[in-house]
Every structure is written in structure tokens, then in C-alpha cells.
A and B are shown apart, each in its own frame.
Chain A
Amino acid sequence: MGQVHAGDAFTPQERYDIDKAIRDAETVSRYEFSVFVGASEGETRPFAERLHATLTAPERSVLVMVDPAARILEIVTGSEVHRDLEDGEVDLAALSMQSAFAAGDLVGGITRGLMMLAEHARRPRMLHADG
């Protein structure tokens, strides 16, 4: 991302944790992850979808949008990701994030949620591809 506004929402450590969680999730699943924390402009779902469409490769990307003020969480998966990551699995991750957020743990919820999404999105290894 571009310029980081130091000293706002997250401490450098927390920012590092989220960045690392994104990198880990991308390594595990081979898909792109992106996390938006902030106020949504207008309706949240269309806004989240617009953010998702703005990403470089939307069909291979997962966008997590957290609006702490409105207490809304949106997760958008691109068409390619959607094949490996079913909505039920996304729901599970959303549930775990939701409970962390409700306890006030914003960063923990985001990092754990990303890990869960990545684990579920990981394509199973082909064991008998040629036989």
C-alpha cells in the first residue's frame, strides 16, 4: 500500500502482524489477500465489492472489509477463489473473526480469520494425478 498513516488505528507492531498474516495467507493458499479497515462509503456490500474489483487480480483475490464503527464484516472472494473456497467456509472464518471483534480484539480477529480463509482456500494436493 502507499503511504502509511503512522499512529492512527494500529501500532507498528499490529500493522506488521496484519501484513505478515496477509503474506502467510498468500503463501499458504497461492491467492491474493487484502484487508480494508475503515468506514464504508454507502452500503457495505456493494462498497466491499467495489474495493474487491479495484484489486489487481480480482478473480484471484480475497477482500476482507472490517468496519469497526458500524461493526460490519464483509468478505468478498473472486470467481477463481470461490471455486476452492466455498461460502460455508468463508462463513466459518467470519464467525471466528466476529467473536474476536466482539471481544475487542481487532488485530487478532483479522490475523486468525486470514489464516482460516487461507487454510480452506488451499487446494488439496493431487496425489494420483498421473495414475
Chain B
Amino acid sequence: MSDLDAAVVRRSLRALILTPAALAPLVAAPAFAAPPEAWPDAEATSALDYLLVLLVIPLGLALVIALLASVPSMVRGEKYTPGQAWRNENEWFGGPKDGLEAADQTDVKAVEAGEADRGGASARW
């Protein structure tokens, strides 16, 4: 048997097996059955009950969970999220008393003086 024939056979076999599987859900009719006589009649559910169970409770749960998730960072008072603009004032820890004003008065010579042996690194995030 040639390769071509083998491929044809394989493909038709596959189609043969898959077609019923694909058709079955379309053909199948939903099963209906009347509740047995012995069962008590179910009480009618009001629209309000539906709303409560399907909307209010899930939404309430989602709200509670979201709140719980954000509590730790709220307690810690985190205000910085990457990508968000930084609107706070400058802070210089361990800097000169006048802060940035002192830096403004630094003359270029002092900056250039240390140029030669100065080291360091830069990074972005």
C-alpha cells in the first residue's frame, strides 16, 4: 500500500470516529421528567431571593476579599507603585543641612575635582 493510500485511510477513519462524537450533543434532547408525586411542592422563590443569592452575596464576598487583600499595604502605608508618578517632596537622608540649596551652591570645580577617582553605578527599573 502506498503512503498516499495509508494517509487517506487514516483520515477517513478519523472522520468516521469523530463525526458521531460531534453530532451526539446536537442530536441529544435534554432529559425532562416530572418530579415524583411523593415530593413536596417546592416553595416559589421570589425574584428578590434570586437577586440575593446570585448577585448580592457573590458581590459582597468579592468586596470583602478585595478589602482583605489590600489591608496589609494600607496598614504599612505604601504609597509608591511602580509606574505611578511621584508627587512627593524630595528627601535627602544624611545630606547637608540646607538640602538641595547646598547642592545648588556647589561650584563646578568641586564636582570636577572628584571626577577622576569617582566610581558608582546607574540603573533603571
Assembled-state Cα–Cα distance A22/B94 (Å): 8
Inter-chain contact A34/B117, CB cutoff 8 Å: no
Given contact pairs A56-B96, A82-B117, A72 touches B124 in the complex (Cβ within 8 A): yes
Q: Is the CB of B103 within 8 A of A54?
A: yes
Contact with A along B64-88 (1 / 0, CB 8 A): 0000000000001111111001101
The answer to the question of B114 belonging to the interface, with a C-beta cut-off of 8 Å to chain A, is: yes
Report B2-56 residues with CB < 8 Å from chain A CB.
none
Q: Pick the contact of A68 from B86, B114, B116, B120 — CB < 8 Å?
A: B86
B92 in complex: contacting residue of A35, A49, A90, A102, CB < 8 Å: A35
Are B123's CB and A73's CB within 8 A?
yes
- Not counting A38-B90, A86-B119, a sample of 7 additional A-B residue pairs whose C-beta atoms are within 8 angstroms of each other reads A9-B86, A10-B91, A67-B86, A71-B82, A73-B124, A98-B125, A104-B81
Please classify how large the interface on chain B is, using the bins under 10, 10 to 19, 20 to 34, 35 or more: 35 or more
Task: Tell me the B residues contacting A by CB distance below 8 Å.
Answer: 76-82, 85-86, 88-100, 102-103, 106, 110-111, 113-125
Bound-state CA distance A66–B102 (Å) is 18
Interface size class of A (residues with CB under 8 A): 35 or more
Chain A, 60-97, contact with B by CB distance < 8 Å: what is the 0/1 string? 00000001110111111111011101110011011101
Q: Give A49 to B121 CA distance when docked, in angstroms.
A: 11
**Contact call A32/B80, Cβ cutoff below 8 A:** no
Which chain A positions have C-beta within 8 A of B76? 11
Q: How far apart are the CA atoms of A93 and B91 in the complex, in Å? A: 21
Choose one: A15, A82, A94; the contact of B123 (CB below 8 Å): A94
Q: How far is the CA of A68 from the CA of B79 in the complex (A)?
A: 11
- Known A-B contacts A19-B93, A34-B92, A50-B103; A82 and B118 likewise in contact (beta carbons under 8 Å): yes
User: Is the beta-carbon distance between B80 and A104 smaller than 8 angstroms?
Assistant: yes
CB pair A18 B86 closer than 8 Å: no
